[in-house]
Structure 1
Amino acid sequence: MQFFQHKNSNFEFRNIEPWLAHEITTVLCAHDPKQATIATRLLAVPSYEDEQLCADWEEHVHPDLIVLWSSCHSIVMSDLQKMAENLSRKKNAYDLIFPSSHQEAWLRMLNIVRLSLAAEHQFCEQEMNDNSDFDLSTPRGEALAQMLVFSGMQQCLIS
Structure 2
Amino acid sequence: MAVVIFYEKPGCSGNARQKALLQAAGHTVQARNLLATPWQRSQLLSFFEGLPVAQWFNRNAPMVKSGEVVPEEFDEATALALFQAEPLLIRRPLLEVDGQRRVGFDAAAVHAWIGLGDAVPAGNLEACSHGNDPAHRCQGHEDGHAHEHAAPAEA
| Bigger strand share | 2
Select the structure of larger CA radius of gyration.
Answer: 1
TM over 0.5: no
| Bigger helix share | 1
Per the normalisation by structure 1, the TM-score is 0.27
